[in-house]
Amino acid sequence: MEMIDKKILALMQEAFPVVSDPYLELSKKLGISKIELFSRVKALYDAGYILKISPKYARNTKAIGALIALEVEKELEDKIAEAINNYEEVSHNYIRDSDYSIWFTISTTSAKGFENIISKIREIKGVKNMLILSSKKLYKLNVEFEVYD
């Protein structure tokens, strides 16, 4: 990857301007033309380096969150993970190297909503055991990656 592309990724990962012409503003910072910048951004997006340009939301301090792990019947693992994906309260849904193989997080705005989704997931065919690891305190959340290494 060319250095200018790394600079673009680093800058856009930090912030994307909320102004009428964001690529013009970014191109001035980078010292290239807006046309060159956009064609590079398009290429980085098409190549999959940029997943999306989206808002970073403030954390909802009232949200009820937990990390959930499921031990499941192996042959139903894919089906169960897909079923869990359908809940919009679910994120970070991954298969991990352990007896508890399906791991995901749930975030809801009410205790009732939380209990509701937990009981639905418990009933999915093939789910054997469940760990509920409720969030007590967040110490770090920073998904910016070192681009220049």
Query: Which spans of this chain sit near another protein (rule: CB under 8 A)?
Result: 9, 12-23, 34, 38, 41-42, 45, 47-58, 66-67, 69, 81-82, 84-85, 88, 90-98, 100-101, 103-104, 131-143, 145-147, 149
* Minimum distance from residue 19 beta carbon to another protein (Å): 8
Structure tokens at 117: 């989704």
* Minimum distance from residue 81 beta carbon to another protein (Å): 5
* Minimum distance from residue 31 beta carbon to another protein (Å): 19
Structure tokens at 34: 């807006």
The nearer residue to another protein, 3 or 138, going by C-beta atoms, is: 138
Q: 109 in helix, strand or coil?
A: coil
Structure tokens at 73: 């019947």
* Minimum distance from residue 108 beta carbon to another protein (Å): 11
* Minimum distance from residue 71 beta carbon to another protein (Å): 11
The nearer residue to another protein, 45 or 125, going by C-beta atoms, is: 45
Pick from 116, 97, 98, 96: nearest CA to 106: 116
Q: Give the rounded distance of the alpha carbon of 90 from its chain centre.
A: 10
Residue keyed to tokens 């894919």: 78
Rounded Cα distance, 77 and 101, in Å: 8
Rounded Cα distance, 136 and 89, in Å: 18
The nearer residue to another protein, 125 or 134, going by C-beta atoms, is: 134
Q: 83 in helix, strand or coil?
A: helix
